[in-house]
Amino acid sequence: MLDAMVAGLHALLTPQSIVFLMIGVVYGLIIGILPGLGGIVAMALLLPFTYGYEPAATLALLLGAHIATIWGDSVTSILFNVPGAAKSLSLVFDGYPMTQKGQARRALGASAGAALLGGIIGAVFLALSIPLVRPLILALGPSEYLMMALWGLTVIATFSEGSLLKGLIAACAGVIIAFIGMDPITATPRYTFGSIFLLDGISFPVAMIGLFAIAEMMKLWVKGDSIVSRALQAETSSVLDGVRDAFRHWGLVFRSSVLGLWIGVLPGVGATVGGIAAYAMAVNTSKHPERFGKGSVEGVIAPDATLGANEGGGLLPTLAFGIPGGESMAILLIAFIGLGIVPGPTMLTDHLDIVFSLVWIIVLASIVTTVIGIAISPYLARMPNLDHTIMIPIVLTVCFIAAYATRGVEGDVIVAAAFGLLGYLMDRYKYSRANLVIGMVLAEMIERSLHLSLSLYGDFFIFTRPVTFAMFVFIVLTTAWPFVRSWRRKRQQALAMDGGAR
Amino acid sequence: MSRRAQENIVALALIGMFIAVIVASMDYSFRARMVPLPMAVLGCILAVIQLAWQNLRPVDELQLDMFEFITGRTAEEEPAAVQAIIEQKPEPTPDAPERTALREFMAVGVVALLLALFFLIGPVPATFVFTTGYLIMTGKHGLARSLLYSGTLTLILAVMFGYVLQVQLDRSLLLPPLAPLIGF
């Protein structure tokens, strides 16, 4: 284990990895500061650039960009009252009032400091949990992995925005889309309708670019927001004041980080509601709750620490079980597959050094993001406006060229555009895009595990293998339990109201 | 068209898609359709239930209150500051246009236009033409600034993809036939 930790760090200390990490962080900060784009878009656009390089450098680029977008998203929430991404919505409520009081630098410093501490706590958690999870992973067989994949799909559907039914429908659609192309087991062309282009299937990176980047640009066009302006205030604070605040409220940072870890580990639980829950926890535990909503630094620290720790938690099911915790983890999985690395048991046995490289990347990217963030915060605090109009043509053209560059096939550009339209419609009618993506990623695992289970254990393997059966029951319970609890609570409230009326 | 009618059309389209997958799967061997067929059947059943549910029952019955799930408390039990943030919705800027079906079709049109340019004149010229035209049409950037931004973007993309990634960017439908006419 110690050897793997050292090897993981050693792999990152090459010039290529360091340069890629820096590029990823700077790129992520820029994407994060632009409202409407988030970590998922940043990573989707980077995928074509990841082929042919060392695994550690590739992962440094992708994960570094993703971690940097977390703080970048906070910047627009704090400075312009416009959430950089949905998950930074909670920062608007106290971050912007701080800016209005001339404490923008302090808010940005606190945000950077909290994100750093949260990121480090998340990385430590990931490093500590690997030796605990490893024996469990090695004991699982194909039938257990099948149940794990199905559990991932149902849990994500349960926790996704929109209804459970819509989430499951999106997951089923994602699984079917993944089967377009040549079946590797039976060499049967499936759902190709005679098209040679579709024999190779739908490229994941191209689908991601369409679903998230192109769809977001279509949303931005429809929304039509243009330049966001603000009146500059005389600054009465410094960035270091905010960083000191983050360290001074270490208890709040720790509690918020633990919340972020838990949310990250559970597949499908969005960071958006995590940020709000962290804010609620800060209000309920603060000595001065009346200050919240009027520019309390605790209202900035809590959500940022949660978002920072979320990454470490989200990597655990992704690396250990091959079940992505969200869209960004799905992209990371695709990158792994492109690098010839399969998450799961082999990840924790043959590629443990890469796992620890990821841990170190989270730490280093958090530090680099904070250092750069602190350095540029004084200048960001003086930004008078933000121009949305310039984003759409830039991102769209990059998307199309990136889609073409993935395989050098013109048809991929049409696929990207089609998925862009699909992503827009899914967002419009509240069918979870995350579920579709995760269905696409888990489809191969489901099919492979099912074939192996039937071959090894027979047709009734669900009932003959106790662990598999227990996991099957667990799937049913975890899918139904939140609704049962909600139904019981509503029934209690209705009974209480009836009792009060009498 | 009402929101419910739109949702019904989407659900019907999904049912149609799943039925098409079921029909297509019948041509495959047992092993080839072992997973896709049950998934399509499940998806079809779920889509039918969704169609029925959204017309007969409140939609939020199948929606999990994530805040309550994580904190163990309902929004009503929270202090006013937290309730306000839960109810807060991002406000559009004052000069933002109204969201209409026309704007949605225009969004599709913008993507389709870039797609057409991409195939007709190639990725690099399409980038320059599309970006210049878009920035000028917004009315917020003059010709000189639009050309500067577009030129810079085109150069960066050409270097990144064409030189660094060695991607063949000289693909187009119109330029090869026109090349002899313009001296290439």
**Residue scoring higher pLDDT (A232 or A303):** A303
Minimal-distance CA residue of chain A relative to B6: A429
Phi, psi for residue A182 in degrees, rounded to 5: -80, 125
Mean pLDDT of A351-378: 86
Contacts of B114 in chain A (CB under 8 A): 396-397, 400
Average pLDDT on A90-104 reads 86
pTM: 0.82
Residues of B in contact with A289 (CB under 8 A): 79, 81
Task: Note the pLDDT of residue B173.
Answer: 66
User: Which tops the pLDDT comparison, A323 or A443?
Assistant: A443
State the pLDDT at residue B84. Answer: 63
Q: Half-sphere exposure of residue B177, counting CA atoms within 13 Å on the CB side?
A: 4
Mean pLDDT of chain A: 83
> Is the per-residue pLDDT at A264 higher than 90?
no
Residue B96: which pLDDT band, with cuts at 50, 70 and 90?
A: low
Query: What pLDDT is attached to residue B13?
Result: 95
CA-to-CA distance for A182 and A187, rounded, in angstroms? 6
The answer for A 10-29 residues in CB contact with B (under 8 A) is none
For residue A399, give both structure tokens: 């998307």
Q: Which of A321, A270, A274, A222 is nearest to A433 (CA)?
A: A270
Residue B141 has pLDDT above 90, yes or no: no
Q: Give B29's contacts in chain A (Cβ within 8 Å).
A: 186, 188
pLDDT of B52 strictly over 80: yes
**At how many degrees (to 10) do helices B123-138 and B101-121 cross?**
150
Distance of residue B82 Cα from the nearest chain A Cα, in angstroms: 6
Q: Tell me whether residues B50 and A166 touch, CB distance under 8 A.
A: yes
Output the CA–CA distances (angstroms, integers) from residue A459 to A148, A151, A466, A467, B105, in the order listed. Answer: 18, 20, 15, 16, 50
Closest chain A residue to the Cα of B153, Cα to Cα: A394
pLDDT at residue number B70: 59
Q: For residue range A428-461, list pLDDT tens digits in order.
A: 998 988 889 888 888 988 898 899 899 888 888 8
In order, the DSSP letters of chain B are --HHHHHHHHHHHHHHHHHHHHHHHTTS-TTTTTTHHHHHHHHHHHHHHHHHHHHHS-GGGG---HHHHHHSS-GGGS-HHHHHHHH--PPPPTTPPPP-HHHHHHHHHHHHHHHHHHHHH-HHHHHHHHHHHHHHHHTSS-HHHHHHHHHHHHHHHIIIIIIIS-------SSHHHHTTTTT-
Tens digit of each residue's pLDDT (9 = 90 or more) over A244-262? 999 999 999 999 998 888 7
Q: How far apart are CA A225 and CA A388, in angstroms?
A: 7
Chain B interface test: which of A51, A166, A497 (most B C-beta within 10 Å) = A166
ipTM of the complex: 0.86
Top pLDDT among A420 and A502 is at A420
More confident residue, B64 or A463: A463
How many CB atoms are closer than 10 A to CB A214? Answer: 29
Test A394 with B131 for CB contact under 8 angstroms.
yes
Question: Which pLDDT band holds residue B65 (cuts at 50, 70, 90)?
Answer: low
Contact A388, A228 (CB under 8 A): yes
Calculate what percentage of chain A has a pLDDT beyond 70: 92
Residue-wise DSSP of B78-130: S-HHHHHHHH--PPPPTTPPPP-HHHHHHHHHHHHHHHHHHHHH-HHHHHHHH
- Residue A308 DSSP one-character state: H
Q: Tokens 């046995």 correspond to what residue?
A: A349
Amino acid A48: pLDDT: 75
Question: A77-93 pLDDT, tens per residue?
Answer: 888 877 767 677 788 88
* Predicted local distance difference test score (pLDDT) of residue B62: 55
**Residue A227: which region, alpha, beta or left (left: phi > 0; alpha: psi -120 to 50)?**
beta
Residue A322 binned pLDDT confidence (cut-offs 50, 70, 90): confident
Q: Do A169 and B46 touch (CB under 8 A)?
A: yes
Interchain contact, B81 vs A289, CB within 8 Å: yes
pLDDT at residue A373, as a whole number: 86
What is the interface size between A and B, counted as CB pairs within 8 Å? Answer: 241
Give the Cα-Cα-Cα angle B127, B132, B137 (nearest 5 degrees): 130
More confident residue, B96 or A199: A199
Residue pair A27/A395 in contact (Cβ under 8 Å)? The answer is no
